[in-house]
Amino acid sequence: MDRSLTRFFAGIRTETTREIYDRYLRYFLNFVKIKEANGLLQLKDSYLQTMVEDYIIHLKGRGLRKSSIDGQISALELFFAMNDKILNFKKIRKMSPIQLKIQGNGSYTTDDIKRMLEATTSLRNKAIIHCLASLGCRPNAFCDPPLRLRHLKEVKDGYYSVLMYEGSVEEYRGYLTKEASILVKMYMNERSRQGEVITPDSPLFRNLYRVVLSKAKPMTIKGIKSMILEILKKMRGKGKKRGERYDTAMIGGFRHRYIEICAKNRLDVRLAERLVSHTPKSAPMDKHYVNINNIQDELFNEFLRIERDLTISKEEKERLGRIEAEKKVTELENDKDKRISELEAQATETRDMIKGIYALLGRDTT
């Protein structure tokens, strides 16, 4: 690897961003017909400025949206900055198109996810889909760093939590529904039966393999997206397309569904924000002063309020509905017993008061 790329990658914090920026840089090199990145550094700054401007005009001509072009500008800006080439990126950013209404903002329905599960026979794929639906996380949460078995923790009664973004400031725990927890356990048991030695460092979701005893490699975000795309193709289409984007983002559709369910059930806003790892500008102090480990019980109890809506299986929804109904009956009976006890206590207090008044009057209360 040439020195220019070494410096470029040194300025990138995550593996996912590195892959994206590397791809964007390759696009630019192909456009200017230069084989190696180091060749760019041999050119004068004024010539590079013109090349980058021409490239942005080319991208606009292809109809790319502002967000796509801005990402490529950021990659080029970092590359040249890390290699001491000073270009006028303020001018270059002014060439980016206007921001249009966000597309790809739709959400999957429960029926959509049910059809995804029916479109695959792989236990691994089913477990991934259930986890995406249950966690409502961003795509990178599965791979940055890769989820491993040690990140899976039983909360209680067969429910599991998943630690994501381990070691970073974004670290948080999400929760799996009972059906998602069962699918993940079934998937891990399948791997054990096939001869894989499962350890705490084993990837939660591994790449496909020909020889089971080969070293287990975690799935990449690219692998997960490819898997979902193949399933969507089997469902005869990903959805309606507007311009360059679909109404529902491939992975983001799970997250949008999760957040909509939180809103529908009127969850406590601050706890809901924690469940999806989102810090609003109105309450930034939570991120710095609240120890997430001290509110796990509150978070899990809040999650249980939306478990039924997150659940995919009709049978499991009905089971949770019965449990919820039985819980309400028990609460009503307890309230009734409590109210009867309160009324009996009030009656006894009233009788005693009347007896006291009669005693003061010297009258017999019998």
pLDDT at 105: 65
pLDDT at 331: 76
pLDDT at 354: 81
Phi/psi at 7 (5° precision): -65, -40
Residue 289 pLDDT exceeds 70 = no
Residue 321 pLDDT exceeds 90 = no
Q: What is the gyration radius of the CA atoms in the chain, in angstroms?
A: 29
Write down the CATH superfamily of domain 110-312: Intergrase catalytic core (1.10.443.10)
Question: How remote is the C-alpha of 48 from its chain's centroid?
Answer: 39
Residues of the chain with CATH 1.10.443.10: 110-312
Token pair, residue 361, equals 């009057």
Minimal CA–CA distance to 258: which of 241, 237, 242, 274? 274
pLDDT at 2: 84
Region at 195 (left for phi over 0; alpha for psi -120 to 50; beta for the rest)? left
pLDDT at 269: 86
Residue 315: C-alpha distances to residues 118, 133, 177, 296, 322 (Å) = 15, 17, 14, 28, 11
At what angle are helices 45-61 and 15-32 packed, to 10 degrees?
A: 100
pLDDT digits 0-9 by tens, 105-121: 688 999 999 999 999 99
Residue 33 pLDDT exceeds 90 = yes
Residue 136 pLDDT exceeds 70 = yes
- Which residues fall within 8 angstroms of residue 170, CB to CB, at 6 or more apart? 164, 277
What is the DSSP-derived secondary structure letter of residue 206? B
What is the DSSP-derived secondary structure letter of residue 220? P
pLDDT at 366: 58
pLDDT digits 0-9 by tens, 50-83: 999 999 999 999 988 888 899 999 999 999 999 9
- Residue 4 CA to residue 6 CA, distance in Å, equals 5
**What percent of the chain is predicted at pLDDT more than 70?**
88
pLDDT digits 0-9 by tens, 139-154: 889 988 899 999 999 9
pLDDT at 352: 82
pLDDT at 237: 55
Residue 153: C-alpha distances to residues 21, 42, 148, 172, 181 (Å) = 34, 53, 11, 13, 10
pLDDT digits 0-9 by tens, 239-258: 555 544 556 888 889 999 99
Residue 181 pLDDT exceeds 90 = yes
pLDDT at 243: 47
Region 217-246: what's the mean pLDDT? 76
Q: Does residue 131 contact residue 180 with C-beta atoms inside 8 Å?
A: yes
Minimal CA–CA distance to 178: which of 195, 161, 197? 161
